[in-house]
Structure 1
Amino acid sequence: MEELRFERFTVDAADDLDARAADWIRACEQGFYGQDPDEASIGRSLESKRARGSVLTGVYDDAQAPPSLTAVWPVATFEEFAGEITLAPGRSLPAHLISGVTVRATHRRRGILRRMMTESLDRAQQAGRPIAALTVSEGSIYGRFGFSPAAFAQTVRVAVRDGLGLRADVRRTLESSGLRVVAVHPRDMEAIHDAVVVSFHSATPGSIDRLYGDRQRVTGRWGGDEGGPVKDLRAYACLAGDGTPLGFATAKFSGWKDDPRRLEITDLMAADPKAELALWEHLGAHDLVGELTWGGARTDDALSWALANPRDLRTEKRTDSLWVRVLDVPAVLEARSYAGQGTFRIEVSDPQGRIEGAWRVDVADGAAAVRADEAPAPDTVSTDAETLASLVTGAIEPWQAAGLGRLRGDETVLELVRALWTNEVRPLSATFF
């Protein structure tokens, strides 16, 4: 790769467009088959990257000449920034977030992605970030680097012919809850969004803290034509009796020609399950709407159990919403929750060598103390870096991993790990980056 030039840079804070960063954005958009962004779109992207402190990597081929785009634009892009992930209620860790990964087709199979990813994960470990995370457009690329699915979401369609068809006992529970749902102008959603995010993020395994762009979209400033203001966004807040925001939703009307006419939910968040149900009920009460759709529903969503006819809810698609890579085994294992009391030893293999080793895990009072332990012992389970990444968030259960041969050990030890490794709720990430 002698002819390739790797540059790392941050976005210029000046008012004028940063030309190098602007070309990076154009190359990244093309890599994801996006439209050629205008200056306003580039400005919004730069604003977002400044706000989250992104560091961009561009790879340049100086041997290229016009009219080739690669004479000016990078042939590969990579973005990294600091964030936070929740692994158990009330327990969060610093996270190394990765985005904007592209390599132009003319420059593939030259080790560019491997170098960008390897150097980025090196920096993450040097900075003391115990876990890395990304969202993916292709599922076969990142396993080789130790990433594995950590959270899933599903697309649901809910029939609401005469409102949301709740069971009578569920409706009584909602009516006695003291919750109320109000319509809010999107421009007034920022404080509501931020308050709900704090409680949701703290309570939800797999949650990545929300980013600058999420706030712009929930308030309707971004997300409309060519990324600009949204003119048809509807917003709702679920409030406790004292006015505390417990949840919110945004939605768009699909149009009068659709049959059934739909409200398409674009964002929905609540840490309280009753607040989430109250939002669903309110959305389903809109006149002339026959269906609600939502692409970010929990895979363990309780809504179908709240319906008098569970078939009113149809699941269309399940997709991974987050991938993670463990970079510090003790820090990550100590950040999740456990049940009961016990001790076991875990061996982790890692083709990249980042977390190869063995540790003793002592569990008591719902928490673990983890220390290095290289001495072989009969109470050992073994796994690999990829499987561990999915285990720590609860995306895969120990009994599932053991059944697939991805978690190995004596049956007595596996039974102990299954008992200790509690996952109260399935992980969910409501942040795309």
Structure 2
Amino acid sequence: MQTAHSSVQAYRGGLLYFHADPAFIEHAHAWHEDGLLVVADGKVQAAGDYATLFPTLPPGTPVQDYRGKIISPGFIDSHIHYPQTDMIASPSPGLLPWLQEYTFPTERAFQDPQHAGQVAEFFLDELLRVGTTTAMVYCTVHPQSVDAFFQASEARGLRMIAGKVLMDRNGPDFLQDTAESGARDTEDLIRRWHNHGRSLYAITPRFAPTSTEEQMALTGELARAWPDTFLQTHVSENEEECRWVKQLYPQARSYLDVYDRYGMMRPRAVFGHCIWLDERDRERMRETQSAAAVCPTSNLFLGSGLFDFEQADKARMLLSLATDVGGGTSFSMLQTMNEAYKVARLKGSYLPAMRMFYLATLGAARSLHLEGTVGSFAAGNEADFIVLDPQATPLLARRAAHCNSLEEQLFALALLGDDRAIAATYSGGKLVHARTQG
């Protein structure tokens, strides 16, 4: 693998990136069929037509030729659990028994830093193999699980967001902290990792049922004390879970209102699932600039429900796509798009491929309030990008030969693509994955 250095590098191929949401703006994307991406010092210097930019390159600039392929900003996965890598595809009749039977026992092992480090390495390999260059990651209740994750991601120079799970009730004793210890550990981890290299910290209450009111109050205090950190949790995923929250927090108007009452709704707060929200909930999401991480493969796998894209768009909520591994059944954002499309159809709406690629790139960056850092090829963005191969499989190649538009080509990649469609992944201008041929 090459290392990033100060000399200019250039990449030729079809260039695709976004400057707006295709659901609301007609010409929301930029497409250069024969394009050139120019990178210097790990950041995007320019992106445009090859014929225009090539003459401006310093003499001797190496140009990597990806003609016939599509160069896109790297995918951003806004909700994923690295400790659940080893329990992906575990059978269960629903969310709550799945947590008890598989999730909690699997997470227990992350008290061992060596085990946590080994899983983190595999997890990051898998993300890069499927073209995900940034992820918002749940660790476990153990602070050492966070240290192991960030040590692994920083060694690769990746832009990652992660945090220690907070849970002080309704879980096994071996996975519980206390309100005080959880807050103390979180603050220590924020000081150690937030804005260290390319690492960003997420305050991480698992979900309302596994935190006492005392822990929720301290979590809200942390969210106010560290406003540039992220916050991630789950909300309104499963109807049985929603009923449970109503019993535990009878004073709250809704499940989402529980978090709102404790001051957790704010920019950089990302709520996983958001299936069973009502109109007022969606208004609060917009008002607070909180974001929904839509997890279609997980929601289908656990039978949780179908996300309502039409109502979310009506409320102008911030949206992104997410895998939610291990409830989700694939690390691949292409496979996630595949299922998102079907979920939208079952709810009576339609997701064009352009919209899905937006939600996995610039849309996710906007949800995370990281526009200008990742998610597009605007000058100054970090040079995190992927190379998509429309010829990756015999079926894709055959379908590509009959595509009459960019929308058709992207739709074929979303519906037929997987890890094989990712020819290369770059992070900070450095090649961090190259598909093995054969």
Q: Same fold (TM over 0.5)?
A: no
Instruction: Give the TM-score, by structure 1 length.
Output: 0.31
Instruction: Give the TM-score, by structure 2 length.
Output: 0.30
Instruction: Name the structure where strand makes up a greater proportion of residues.
Output: 1
Higher alpha-carbon Rg: 1
Instruction: Name the structure where helix makes up a greater proportion of residues.
Output: 2
